[in-house]
Amino acid sequence: MKSAAADDPRGALIATARAMAAAGLNRGTAGNVSVRSGEGFHITPTGMAYDRLEPDDIPAMALDGTPLGRRKPSSEWRFHRDIYLARPEAGAVVHAHSPFATSIACLRRDIPPFHYMIARFGGDTVRCAAYATFGTQELSDAALAALEGRNACLLANHGMLAWGRDLDQALALAVELEELCGQYWHACQLGEPVLLGAAEMAVVLEKFSGYGQQESA
């Protein structure tokens, strides 16, 4: 099923962008996806409905920010570029304004270890990056700081992003984060969630350090 898309990173990128809507991460044209390719990356174009995208609509971008192609890249390309520069192991980035993650991001709240699956994102919290205007270098810098040792973060008053080794993993992490944000939101309706302690989270983090390798085997 994946082989045709795997031949052309632009086709796989379009499939992932469409899957975001099906997964409840995005409606309309909010959010964007990128995939590392050669010396740069491909990224969804600005303001185009994903169901009408064709491979030639997908811009390429060099790591210095030079765009190539007939369409303008997403205005939020900077944090994609900076993740590829900072994390050699990053192969794809998914950014969404998904309902639960965005709601929590509007409280500018880190997601605490209310559930052990928080460790899936690399630590005992998922941080919320400081607020900055969309598309700015300031926002990218804030996101990169929040991603220190993590593969996902919230963006204050904006949304969330996740990166993975490839498009499938980045999308899966974004879906898992939205799911956890929903669970956290629900638990907060009932009271104050009981948080896991540092020792408990250290055990889970240790287990997950092997979990990722198994998954890629």
Q: Which positions ≥6 away from 97 have C-beta within 8 Å? A: 26, 30, 31, 158, 159
Number of residues that bind Zn ion (CB under 5 A): 1
Q: Between residues 122 and 159, which has the closer beta carbon with respect to Zn ion? A: 159
Tell me which residue has its CB nearest to Zn ion: 159
Identify the CA nearest to 82 among candidates 6, 139, 25: 139
Residue 207: CB minimum distance to Zn ion, A? 33
Residue 31: CB minimum distance to Zn ion, A? 6
Identify the CA nearest to 114 among candidates 49, 181, 162, 161: 181
Q: Which of residues 142-161 bind Zn ion (CB under 5 A)?
A: 159
Identify the three-state secondary structure at position 119. Answer: helix
Residue 67: CB minimum distance to Zn ion, A? 18
Q: Which of 76, 176, 178, 192 is catalytic?
A: 76
Q: Between residues 94 and 201, which has the closer beta carbon with respect to Zn ion? A: 94
CA distance 115 to 196: 7
Q: Which of residues 88-127 bind Zn ion (CB under 5 A)?
A: none
The span from the first CA to the last CA of the chain, in angstroms, equals 18
The site map against Zn ion for 28-67 (x = CB under 5 A) is: ----------------------------------------
76 annotated active-site = yes
CA distance 160 to 156: 9
- Outline where DSSP puts E strands in 4-108: 32-37, 40-43, 60-62, 67-68, 92-96
Q: Between residues 134 and 211, which has the closer beta carbon with respect to Zn ion? A: 134
The residues binding Zn ion (CB under 5 A) are: 159
Catalytic residue ranges: 76
